[in-house]
A and B are shown apart, each in its own frame.
Chain A
């Protein structure tokens, strides 16, 4: 079974700080990687879908990169704001099954 790992598990940053998290996955038979933002008491919402090695995606202050050869993706948040506080999930699928395996998430708390 595909193993997707995220680090760190949680972190606290000050408002205005920039931060990044890592999602690691097996590089063989990679198909796609998703990042989701999950606020407390809500449902996960898709941020990015990446499929190609070297992909970079950006939405406002949040961006992501993908390295399929070494099996990792970074999520960056520039100038963190309290409203960025959430759990950030990554999910990876392999060609053939296309089922997604989710990491356990990185819980971000931005302190005002």
Chain B
């Protein structure tokens, strides 16, 4: 079992819809969780971090964490074509981040 798992996609949603990106992790002791966005040919950039169970909202983005289910998700409201990218889930483990392979999101007009 991979330490951090994501569906590779692509996830295709129409402009204006809600995109839901999911991630599961294997280390029950993990405490910090991050979502990074990576445009093709570019380096990752942080979208959201979350440390406590529940929801955390920042603009059009909402991160959701459920430690009991070892599950973290990212919702993107009012999706825009500019949101089309690969979204990487990262989980803190000891002294480093373990990344999932990413979910490719496509937002079509």
Whether chain B is bound by chain A comes out as no
- B residues engaging A (CB < 8 A)? none
